[in-house]
Amino acid sequence: MDQVDLSIISKYDVSGPRYTSYPTALQFAELDDDQYIQAIHDSPRKDKDISLYFHIPFCDTLCYYCACNKIITRDKSKAEDYLRLLYREIELKAEHLAGRSVSQLHWGGGTPTFLSDLQIQALMDKNREHFQLWSDEDGEFSIEIDPRTVDEARIQALRKAGFNRLSMGIQDFNPVVQKAVNRIQSFEATESVIKAARGCGFRSISVDLIYGLPHQTVESVRNTLDQIIELSPDRISIYNYAHLPDRFTPQKRIKLVDLPSADNKLRILKLCIEKLTGEAGYCYIGMDHFAKPEDELAVAQSQGTLHRNFQGYSTFSDRDLIAFGVTAISLVGNTYAQNTKQMDEYERRINSGQLPVEKGVVIDQDDLIRKAVIMALICHFEIEFADIEAEFGINFTNYFAEELEQLEQFAGDGLLILKEDSIQVTDKGRLLIRNICMCFDRHLKQVSGQRFSKAI
């Protein structure tokens, strides 16, 4: 892609949603079990295969930057108690899913590898008891791991259990940075895990980095990138660290004075993009995602079939997502449904035979239209008005007259090309795709305060 223009990025450096859903979770309101069950039975996708997501909330150490829903504990007995609740939730939801096949499965957290090998195998067996998982060749079955909690034997056990994709956090290899965020993870340990995964047949390996962490400099991040390129993962995500200590208590342990300045943070981002898409040869998928040219994400984007959901970019679209565990979010038909965030309430509901759904939103027609526009832009960086008009029976120019007027500024800055019948995002504009999508988000005006991370 083109060289990164820091002046333009600085101009549009505002907070905004990541659009893993639309409407975003801030629009969720009270939703009950009956509405969720009805959504399953009414889903226009009810005759298709499904995706499953499992939230494993436990971590045995606290990473200070983390904004995830997690439980810090070294008490392994908590995992067994939680699994019993997950098994029951599977049973309760499977009653309404009529043995639908599973093409995609993902375990996130927390740290799913907090579970033992036997517990991981047991949970996968429970899945197979109630659902028909696609073959290893056709299905996408992924798990997030912490390289500090696994060795070669554990990687082999994960492959035997049926996982064929791995994702792992790295964040930064610099020991000073690692100490400041309480995540000590050597290059050698990470390399060993990746080699083991390749050796036993994992099809895809993804790694996560964060820019904007304490003590990071352009040069220190350059060294980390050199090591990442040496590891040669299939996909790389580079997230912007959002310092929000009032919302995420662990971040209070990070000193504001240790964070890179806004200018240095932008220079770090510029380095990451130019280094990965230049000498390393990765494709810039969008937002903060990069993939090798032969990776399914890059291929799907070139073919116009890329999709985005709560796990980020995906090649699997038009499927109901059924989520399990505390705080997990499902998308069934046109209904988002989130489980309770409180473990004691989750336990109470499951033990009483209730689904743990607490809130969500039923997407109305206007949001369906806006979601289609946002997803087309964020996945493919272009939109033909005729496609939206044919699907929803509207006149795009009339329907989005105000939004198109807002986009004139982006066009003037060379971030997109606005035509009579289409919007095409330029290479320069791809970095600011969240900002462009925000023009179509009718809910943003209702959000007070800084509830999102910075777009860049």
What's residue 25's pLDDT? Answer: 87
Task: Kindly state the helix (H) or strand (E) to which residue 79 belongs, with its residue range.
Answer: helix 77-94
pLDDT at 428 over 70: yes
Burial class (CB in 10 A: 0-12, 13-18, 19+), 88: middle
Tokens standing for 5?
């223009």
The residue type of 219 is E
Average pLDDT, the chain: 92
Q: How confident is the model at residue 15 (pLDDT cuts 50, 70, 90)?
A: confident
Q: Return d(Cα 317, Cα 305) in angstroms, integer.
A: 8
pLDDT at 448 over 70: no
Name the nearest CA neighbour of 322 among 345, 354, 356.
356
Higher pLDDT, 12 or 198: 198
What's residue 452's pLDDT? Answer: 62
Average pLDDT, stretch 129-137? 95
Number of Cβ within 10 Å of residue 106's Cβ equals 25
Q: How confident is the model at residue 308 (pLDDT cuts 50, 70, 90)?
A: confident
* Residue 250 · residue 62 · CB < 8 Å: yes
What's residue 135's pLDDT? Answer: 96
For the stretch 25-47, pLDDT in tens is 889 999 999 999 999 999 999 88
pLDDT at 293 over 70: yes
Helices first, then strands: H and E counts in the chain: 17, 21
Residue 73, CA distances (Å) to 57, 78, 82, 158, 245 in order: 10, 8, 13, 22, 21
- Predicted structure pTM score: 0.93
Reduced to 3 states (helix: H, G, I; strand: E, B; else coil), residue 87 is helix
Q: How confident is the model at residue 455 (pLDDT cuts 50, 70, 90)?
A: low
For the stretch 245-258, pLDDT in tens is 998 999 999 999 99
Q: How confident is the model at residue 373 (pLDDT cuts 50, 70, 90)?
A: very high
Cis omega (within 30 of 0) for bond into 23: yes
Pairing of strands 289-291, 312-314: unpaired
Q: Return d(Cα 104, Cα 51) in angstroms, integer.
A: 5
Average pLDDT, stretch 308-325? 85
Average pLDDT, stretch 276-288? 91
What's residue 124's pLDDT? Answer: 98
What's residue 451's pLDDT? Answer: 57
Average pLDDT, stretch 97-121? 94
218 Ramachandran zone, left/alpha/beta (phi>0; psi -120 to 50): alpha
* Residue 203 · residue 242 · CB < 8 Å: no
What's residue 444's pLDDT? Answer: 87
Task: Kindly state the helix (H) or strand (E) to which residue 283 belongs, with its residue range.
Answer: strand 283-286
Average pLDDT, stretch 1-13? 72
For the stretch 333-362, pLDDT in tens is 999 999 999 999 999 999 999 999 999 999
The residue type of 11 is K
Q: Return d(Cα 322, Cα 325) in angstroms, integer.
A: 10
Higher pLDDT, 68 or 184: 184
